Amino acid sequence: MADADNIKNLEDRVTRLETAVGGAISDPAGPWGGFGGGGVVRGHGPVGDPAPVDLSRMSSAQLQASLHSIQAEKTRLAAMEALVNQHLEKAKGKGA
């Protein structure tokens, strides 16, 4: 019965926290999928930077997955940069 009471108390605390911050508290990506880090989801208003990820809590597999995600993102950004530069050159050629 003590476990049920503890769970109920925890649910009540989370509800009070969600009410206080104006939205649901979630961890959308999780550290194993990259540097999601977690945060507060609100219905409106500015969104701040997530808290830094505690890398010391991640396993070797999680760290390797994060490195893979970072490399994939760098590759995607490099391709996007090349595309933007290409369009910028075309725009300069047209005198825009």
- Residue 62 CA to residue 60 CA, distance in Å, equals 5
What residue numbers bound the domain in which 9 lies? 2-93
∠ CA 11-33-53, rounded to 5°: 70
Mean pLDDT of 21-36: 58
Mean pLDDT of 5-18: 83
pLDDT at 80 over 50: yes
pLDDT at 77 over 80: yes
Mean residue pLDDT across the chain: 79
* Cβ-contact 38, 27 below 8 angstroms: yes
Residue 90 has what pLDDT? 93
Number of domains in the chain: 1
- Comparing 64 with 14, which gets the higher pLDDT? 64
Report residue 31 as tokens.
Answer: 């550290």
Report residue 37 as tokens.
Answer: 């880090």
Q: What is the pTM of this model?
A: 0.44
pLDDT at 11 over 60: yes
Task: Burial-class residue 19 by CB neighbours within 10 Å (0-12, 13-18, 19+).
Answer: exposed
